[in-house]
C-alpha cells in the first residue's frame, strides 16, 4: 500500500448551448470570430441596466442535475461574487453560492458512486489575448451561461478523475445541454487534490491533507497527467518533512508540470451577497417533472441495455455508447433485418453488423459521422448488405468492395453487385474451368499436396479465388478442388 493516499475532487465548468447569453439577449455564438460583436449595455455592466434570467439555461442545469441524480430545491437564487478582473466588465460575477439549482447527486463510475456536491449556474467572463507588449480583451464570451459542477472529494486516482470527466462530458452530449468542446474551452476542468498519510490503525480517522487546486485543464489527458504529477510532487515534499501550501497551480502541458499561480482565496474574499437585481427562482414540482420527462436514455443505462438486448461484448458496447450516432445507426440497422429470424441466425447477423460497422464502416468514415449530410448508406441497405454476407451470397472480399461503393454512391447492395458484376460464381462448371486451369499451372503444388503438405491446398484455393477476382463461392471451390485432388 502506498504511504500516501490522494483525495481528489473535481470542479467542471461547462458553457451551455443556448440561443442567447445568461442575462441579456446577445447571441451565444461560439463561432463568432470578430471580437466584441455580441455585446450590449447589460453584459457590459453599464449603469442603469438590469439582468433578465435566461429560462433555457436554468432548464438545462436542472436537466443535468436530474440526470446526475441530484436534488432540485424548490427555491434557488443568484449571488453576487465580487472581484476585479480585466475581462469581467461589471466588477462582479453573478453566480450561486447559498442556494444552487441542484445539490447532492452522484455519477456512477465503474460501479462506484462519486458524490456530486452541487451544480450551479453563473455567467462566463470575457477572454484575454496576450500579445508581446499589450493585451486585448474580447467580451463576446462575457455573460454566457456557465454551469459549474462540484464533486465531493470522492476520487482516489488520476484515472478515476479522468473517467469522471469523460463520463460527464458524454452525458452533456446525450442531454444536448452543451457541445462541451474542450479545445474551444467550452468545458474546463479544475482539480482539488490533497495527500494524507495512510493510517494503519482503523479506529484512527484519516485526516485530509492540505488542498491544492489545479486550474484550467483543457483535455482529459491533461487532467490525468496533472494529477499524477501533483501526487508525486506532494509526496516528495511530505517525505522530506515539508509542508504543502494551500494554493492554486496551473498545468504546463509542454513541460508536464504544475506551477504555482496564487494562494487560494476563500469565499469570504469575494464578499458574496444575494444578487439584488434578480428575484429568487421558484422551481415547481411540475417544472421538474416536465424536465425529467425530456431526459433521454443515458450512457450507463444504454450500455446495460445493448449488452442485454443484442448480446454485445463490453468493448463494442462502449464504442456504440461513446459514438452515440453510430450506436443509433446500429440499432436502426438491426431493426431492418428480416422479421422473425431464428435466434441463431439473428445473433450471427448482429455479430456481422457489429464487425462491419466498427472496422470497415468506421474506416470508410475516417473520423466522420453517420449523421453527416453526405453519409449515403441507409439502415435498410446496410441490413440487406449484412444478410447477403450471412447467406454467403458475397464473400468477405467482395463485401468490402460493395460497402465501399455503397459508401460512395449510396445505392442498395444488390444493385451495386449487378452493376459492377460482383455477383458470386456458383455455377459448378464455371468454377471447374478455373480449377482445371490452376491445377495445370501448378503441377508441383499438386504433387506437394499429394505427398502430404496440407498448406498446398490453401495455396491452390487462394490462386483459384484470385483468378475469379474473389467471386467464386468458396464452399463450392473447396468441394470441387477436393474431388479433383483425390
Ligand atoms: Zn449582452
pLDDT in tens, the chain (486 residues): 567 888 999 999 999 999 999 999 999 998 889 999 999 999 999 999 999 999 999 999 999 999 999 999 999 999 999 988 888 999 999 999 999 999 999 999 988 999 999 999 999 999 999 999 999 999 999 999 999 999 999 999 999 999 999 999 999 999 999 999 998 889 999 999 988 877 554 444 556 778 889 988 999 999 999 999 999 998 888 888 888 888 888 888 888 889 888 766 666 678 899 999 999 999 999 999 999 999 999 999 999 999 999 988 888 899 999 988 899 999 999 998 888 888 888 889 999 999 999 998 888 888 888 888 888 889 998 998 998 888 887 877 888 888 888 888 888 888 888 777 777 777 777 887 888 888 888 888 888 888 888 788 888 888 888 888 777 877 788 888 888 777
- Residues measured by CB to lie within 5 Å of ligand 1, the ion: 24, 26, 40, 42-43
pLDDT, residue 137, reads 93
Residue owning grid cell 455479430: 351
Distance in Å, CA 221 to ligand 1 centroid: 35
Residue 160 is predicted with a pLDDT of: 95
Sequence-ordered list of residues with C-beta below 8 angstroms from that of 336, at least 6 positions apart, any chain: 379, 380, 382, 383, 384
Q: What is the pTM of this model?
A: 0.80
Contacts for 89-93: CB closer than 8 Å, 24+ residues apart:
89/43, 89/44, 89/45, 89/126, 89/139, 89/142, 90/45, 91/45, 93/122, 93/123, 93/125
* Secondary structure class of 192 (helix, strand, coil): strand
Say how many Å lie between the CA of residue 24 and the centre of ligand 1. 5
**247-252 vs 212-217, strand pairing mode:** parallel
Separation of 36 CA from ligand 1 center, angstroms?
A: 10
Neighbours of 350 (CB within 10 A): 20
Measured in Å, residue 143 CA sits from the centre of ligand 1 at 7
Which pLDDT value is given to residue 84? 87
Calculate how far, in angstroms, residue 28's C-alpha sits from the geometric centre of ligand 1: 9
> Which phi-psi region, left, alpha or beta, contains residue 172 (left: φ > 0; alpha: ψ -120 to 50)?
alpha
What's the pLDDT score for residue 199?
Answer: 59
Residue 2 pLDDT: 65
For residues 431 and 422, give the distance between their C-alpha atoms in angstroms, rounded to a whole number. Answer: 15
The pLDDT score that the predictor gives to residue 202 is 47
What is residue 265's predicted lDDT score, i.e. its pLDDT?
A: 63
pLDDT value at position 264?
61
Give the 3-state secondary structure of residue 426: coil
Going from the Cα of 136 to the center of ligand 1, the distance in angstroms, rounded, reads: 19
Distance 364 CA to ligand 1 centre (A): 44
Between the CA of 42 and the centroid of ligand 1 the distance, in Å, is: 5
Q: Note the pLDDT of residue 17.
A: 95
Comparing C-alpha atoms, which of 424, 427, 390, 422 is closest to residue 405? 422
Residues 6+ apart with CB under 8 A from 439: 446, 460, 484
Give SS3 for 446. helix
**pLDDT at residue number 237:** 86
Q: Which triple of cell numbers denotes residue 305?
A: 441495455
Give which of 92, 109, 192 is closest to 149, Cα–Cα: 192
Cα-to-centroid distance, 391 and ligand 1 (Å): 62
Distance 26 CA to ligand 1 centre (A): 4
Distance CA 225, CA 231 (A): 10
Q: How far is the CA of 52 from the centre of ligand 1 (A)?
A: 11
Residues near 42 by Cβ (< 8 Å), separated by ≥ 6? Answer: 23, 24, 26, 49, 50, 51, 52, 143
Amino acid at each position: 500500500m502506498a504511504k500516501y493516499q490522494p483525495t481528489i475532487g473535481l470542479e467542471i465548468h461547462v458553457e451551455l448551448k443556448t440561443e442567447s447569453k445568461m442575462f441579456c439577449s446577445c447571441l451565444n455564438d461560439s463561432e463568432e470570430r470578430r471580437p466584441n460583436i455580441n455585446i450590449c449595455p447589460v453584459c457590459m455592466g453599464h449603469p442603469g441596466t438590469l439582468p433578465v434570467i435566461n429560462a433555457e439555461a436554468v432548464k438545462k442545469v436542472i436537466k443535468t442535475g436530474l440526470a446526475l441524480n441530484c436534488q432540485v430545491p424548490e427555491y434557488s437564487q443568484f449571488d453576487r461574487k465580487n472581484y476585479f478582473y480585466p475581462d469581467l466588465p461589471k466588477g462582479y460575477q453573478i453566480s450561486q453560492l447559498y442556494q444552487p439549482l441542484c445539490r447532492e447527486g452522484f455519477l456512477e463510475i465503474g460501479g462506484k458512486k462519486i458524490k456530486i456536491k452541487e451544480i450551479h449556474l453563473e455567467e462566463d467572463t470575457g477572454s484575454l489575448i496576450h500579445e508581446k507588449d499589450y493585451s486585448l480583451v474580447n467580451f463576446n464570451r462575457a455573460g454566457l451561461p456557465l454551469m459549474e459542477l462540484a464533486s465531493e472529494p470522492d476520487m482516489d486516482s488520476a484515472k478515476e478523475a479522468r473517467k469522471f470527466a469523460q463520463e460527464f462530458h458524454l452525458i452533456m452530449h446525450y442531454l444536448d445541454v452543451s457541445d462541451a468542446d474542450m479545445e474551444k474551452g467550452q468545458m474546463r476542468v479544475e482539480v482539488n487534490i490533497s495527500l494524507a498519510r495512510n493510517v494503519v490503525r482503523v479506529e484512527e480517522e484519516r485526516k485530509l491533507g492540505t488542498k491544492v487546486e489545479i486550474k484550467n485543464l483543457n483535455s482529459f489527458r491533461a487532467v490525468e497527467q496533472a494529477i499524477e504529477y501533483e501526487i508525486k510532487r506532494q509526496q516528495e515534499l511530505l517525505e522530506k518533512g515539508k509542508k504543502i501550501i494551500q494554493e492554486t497551480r496551473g498545468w504546463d502541458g509542454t513541460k508536464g508540470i504544475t506551477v504555482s499561480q496564487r494562494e487560494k482565496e476563500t469565499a469570504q474574499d469575494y464578499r458574496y451577497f444575494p444578487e439584488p437585481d434578480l428575484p429568487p427562482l421558484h422551481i415547481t414540482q411540475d417544472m421538474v417533472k416536465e424536465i425529467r420527462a425530456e431526459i433521454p436514455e443515458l450512457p450507463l443505462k444504454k450500455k446495460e441495455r445493448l449488452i442485454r438486448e443484442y448480446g454485445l461484448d463490453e468493448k463494442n458496447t462502449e464504442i456504440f455508447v461513446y459514438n452515440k450516432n453510430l450506436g443509433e445507426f446500429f440499432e436502426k440497422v438491426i431493426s431492418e433485418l428480416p422479421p422473425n429470424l431464428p435466434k441463431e441466425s439473428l445473433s450471427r447477423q448482429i455479430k456481422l453488423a457489429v464487425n462491419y460497422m466498427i472496422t470497415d464502416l468506421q474506416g470508410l468514415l475516417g473520423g466522420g459521422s453517420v449523421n453527416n449530410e453526405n453519409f449515403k448508406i441507409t439502415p435498410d441497405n446496410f441490413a440487406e448488405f449484412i444478410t447477403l454476407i450471412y447467406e454467403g451470397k458475397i464473400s468477405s472480399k467482395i463485401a468490402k468492395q460493395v460497402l465501399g461503393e455503397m459508401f460512395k454512391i449510396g445505392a442498395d447492395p444488390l444493385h451495386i453487385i449487378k452493376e459492377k458484376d460482383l455477383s458470386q460464381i456458383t455455377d459448378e462448371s464455371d468454377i471447374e474451368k478455373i480449377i482445371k486451369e490452376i491445377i495445370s499451372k501448378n503441377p508441383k503444388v499438386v504433387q506437394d499436396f499429394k505427398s502430404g503438405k496440407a498448406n498446398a491446398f490453401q495455396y491452390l484455393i487462394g490462386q483459384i479465388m484470385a483468378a475469379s477476382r474473389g467471386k467464386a463461392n468458396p464452399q463450392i471451390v473447396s468441394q470441387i478442388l477436393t474431388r479433383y485432388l483425390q
